[in-house]
Amino acid sequence: MRLYAVLRNIGNRLAYGSHAPWHSQRIYIDATRCTHHLPPGERPYSYMPRRLSGLVVGGDWDRRVKPIDQSPKVGFCLLHWQNGIPWEQTGCYEYSMAIIEKEGVLDGMRGLDEVKERYIRLDEIFERVRKERRLLNASELGVARGKSREDHGIMIHLDRNGNPVFGDSGCHRMAMAVVLELTCIPAKVGIVHEDYIPGWIDRMRG
């Protein structure tokens, strides 16, 4: 575990007790209740998404959310899986190639052929999830680094009322859950609003 994660876990435990949020903690949420996302420009800190996990932050960040279909990757998936629009007409290829041209790579992809192959694989995964009616957690996928850790999982922030807010990480899986109306999916806790901490502690005790 990276040093910042260790320090966050220690700090949260000292501040909020043994039931405090911790980095990469696995939670389960109802995807049908996750209707909004927190855009990158509205985050309280400009950290990479993985660094937001387990942060307890007050203020009004949870009032700057946008509808989840305005998250680009989620929006492309909704167009395809909900509305039947071919991938090449959703804008996902252009979006991916723009990032590749700027950064040189996106999620291991370096060219259009690899982008197209990825979306073919996503269709295959979507069909499996549709049939099984569930998303596998990190332990089941063999990528968890510890018990109850959801490494590389869907990032979910919790607002002041404990409502789930998508954190723009794990976009394709989040879109699958939204389209299929899955009511119990594994996620990695993101930012927890400070006002919700009493509710969080009650939830963890339960």
Cα–Cα distance for residue pair 6/163, rounded to 1 Å: 26
pLDDT confidence band for 89 (50 / 70 / 90): very high
- Is the pLDDT assigned to residue 148 strictly greater than 80? yes
pLDDT confidence band for 69 (50 / 70 / 90): very high
Tell me, what amino acid is at 48? M
Cα–Cα distance for residue pair 59/195, rounded to 1 Å: 9
The b/e string for 60-70 (b: 16+ C-beta within 10 A; e otherwise) is ebbeebeebbe
- Is the pLDDT assigned to residue 145 strictly greater than 80? no
Which residues 6+ apart lie within 8 Å of 76 measured at CB? Answer: 87, 90, 91, 92, 95
pLDDT confidence band for 206 (50 / 70 / 90): confident
Using DSSP, state whether 98 is helix, strand or coil: helix
CA distances from 66 to 32, 42, 76, 127 (A): 16, 10, 16, 28
Reported as a single tens digit per residue, the pLDDT across 18-60 is 999 999 999 999 999 999 999 999 999 988 888 999 999 999 9
pTM: 0.95
Chain Cα centroid distance, residue 85: 24
pLDDT confidence band for 102 (50 / 70 / 90): very high
